[in-house]
Structure 1
């Protein structure tokens, strides 16, 4: 796999989930937040990253709502989402290749619900990873004490040194990520896990605490405050 810069970089946004934990009365990516949908904030940030050749949003095959919730989006949308995140990303990679991407192009996979991402954080990830042999991801060193729970009680305190909290985007070559996901199976929860399973070590590029992923109901209020105070 070449390590020099390829001609193009693409973003891939998995957007096929139903957001059960967010309790948003529908897919959390379509919930209203600071005057727009969650996913529209995400896509607006990606649109400001000028080095991206295009952005592909991967939707559930039965999705009929995306266009109404992201009216300003001018990239690609494909209704080829799978049952898991890994399937959705794998199907999205196949769609990128079908639309002309090459195996040695870069893809930046970013959560639709990580709507507070800033273009400058994405550019920092690109700057660090563009000439790397593996790629990498935005992440934060774990700051809090980490507990192991059993039946609602803390059973042990875990070592937190050298522990990082993974974020997105995660940036890898299209072909390498496609092969890694095919080998790792559907249960990996992020792209870096699949790359690690091949014996490779992605770069950890410091992200930001603000780059949170909306997961639980309280996250909406926090994201609303952060967006409105920018």
Structure 2
């Protein structure tokens, strides 16, 4: 995503500050001996300070508009000045845009004095061309005029000015006015997440995951996961993708982990040929479709199945190849592997071998005992530079059961990223009760 000009909301987007406002209405009304109204917090969120003061007067506050507005501004001011912190990655993101010469401004419902107090403390005030408070402008972000004025002030048009927001009503306004929107996740807006995701051009856990574009037009750090679940499950004796685990089909646990992984933008599921519709229905039923971009049929070998998934993945920087039978992988493990691959170019989750390993000849006689400290049991996901992975696949060659081998045979180094012993593969019926035990233990925490 390109950012030529940028308009930033403050609370919930750049700052972890929504708690400052959570009980503001109740605090003000209680000072005047008035009971709080139902859903008052939600209503106040879309109002300017002047609108809020007017609303408090309708509820019985007898002070003048000016006095109420001063009260509204004064209560949060000290918290902004002394304690409110930035959201993860926010300051670094602003500094990067500034270094690139991107004109930026703030459009916020918070009063300008509080905005400057917190930004002065964080050392970022000078990064912005100007600060525009809805209190000074005279209308809120439920109307497009404030966004349009901000874009003009930056020297841009709506079409080339990205609005960074977390509130649904403001996102809706900006989109209707023709602005591209980068939506930021915030706990306050969790009930509105589905609509926000549908409206926004990009939805981010925080600004560390912004999809920067590079010279070739691709996101700087974008990862597509390929979940390979096309095997015949010969050793299990039944399709292991649908073995019930914790009340859900086994594959659902895998899909859910990738849905929750912050570093994965989309998912390709590779299933047995002819079962695409069945697996689509399974994903829909279990609410695992937010990132699911495609379901494609696999081939007669694992390598061919992975190749089918890589082909369907589209433009991306990294490919995370994962065995669908490793149903206990966690979002945190996925994120670690992706971050490791972003640094090294190729990475695989792995754990140190616990047992002593023996190498035998064809007669079963021991011929060697490898040094255990250098032995690792490799897991998935295995994450690679997408361009390199596709190039190596196109070279054909022998059938491999491990994607790291593609890189090893070509002389590319693969970094091992520490995984966990619970990320084991469902292979035989004995693995099922062990997986159930892990899920039960996680549920107790």
Q: Report the alpha carbon displacement of residue 213 of structure 1 after superposing the two structures with TM.
A: 0.7
1:79-94 maps to which residues of 2 (within 5 A)? 79-94=296-311
Aligned residues: CA RMSD: 2.2
Equivalent of 2:288, from 73, 80, 93?
73
User: Structure 1 CA distance, aligned partners of 2:343 and 2:366?
Assistant: 43
**In the TM superposition, what is the alpha-carbon distance from 1:149 to its structure 2 partner?**
5.1
Give the stretch that moved more between structures: 158-167 or 193-202: 158-167
More displaced stretch, 190-199 vs 142-151: 142-151
Question: Which of 356, 360, 369 is the aligned partner of 1:158?
Answer: 369
Aligned ranges for residues 141-152 of structure 1 at < 5 Å? 141-148=352-359
Q: Point out where structure 1 has 5 or more consecutive residues left out of the alignment.
A: none
Bigger RCO (CA 8 Å, 6+ sep): 1
| Alpha-carbon shift at residue 19 of structure 1 (Å) | 0.8
Q: Tell me if the contact between 1:147 and 1:154 (Cα under 8 Å) persists in the aligned partners.
A: no
What is the count of residue pairs matched by the alignment? 220
Residue 335 of structure 2: SS of its match in structure 1? Answer: helix
Q: TM-score w.r.t. structure 2 length?
A: 0.47
How far apart are residue 40 of structure 1 and its match? Answer: 0.1
Question: Which residue of structure 2 lines up, in the alignment, with residue 111 of structure 1?
Answer: 323
Whether 1:57 aligns to 2:274 is no
- Helix, strand or coil for the counterpart of 1:124? helix
Structure holding more strand per residue: 1
- Determine the structure 2 residue equivalent to 1:130: 342
Provide closer, same or farther for how the CA distance between residues 197 and 153 of structure 1 changes in structure 2, counting only shifts above 3 A: closer
Question: In 2 relative to 1, CA 184–140 (structure 1 residues): closer, same or farther, beyond 3 Å?
Answer: farther
Change in CA separation of 1:120 and 1:22 when aligned onto 2, cut-off 3 Å: same
The structure with the larger Rg is: 2
1:180 CA drift (Å): 1.5
Structure 2: unaligned runs, 5 residues or longer: 1-214
Q: What is the distance in 2 between the residues matched to 1:59 and 1:81?
A: 6
For the Cα contact (< 8 Å) 1:9–1:107, is it kept in 2?
A: yes
Deviation sequence 1:10-62 (CA, Å, 0-9, x none): 11101111111112x2x211111110011100111111112211111012221
Q: Is the 8 A contact 1:138 1:206 kept in 2?
A: yes
Per-residue deviation, 1:156: 4.1
Is the 1:30–1:69 contact (alpha carbons within 8 Å) kept by the matching residues of 2?
A: no
Residue 209 of structure 2: aligned partner:
none
Structure 2 SS opposite 1:62: coil
Q: Is the 8 A contact 2:230 2:271 kept in 1?
A: yes
| Counterpart position of 1:18 | 232
1:207 aligns to 2:419 (yes or no)? yes
Residue 225 of structure 1 deviates from its aligned partner by 0.9
Greater helix content: 2
Contact 2:221 2:342 in 1 (8 A): no
**Runs of 4+ in structure 1 over 4 Å off:** 149-154
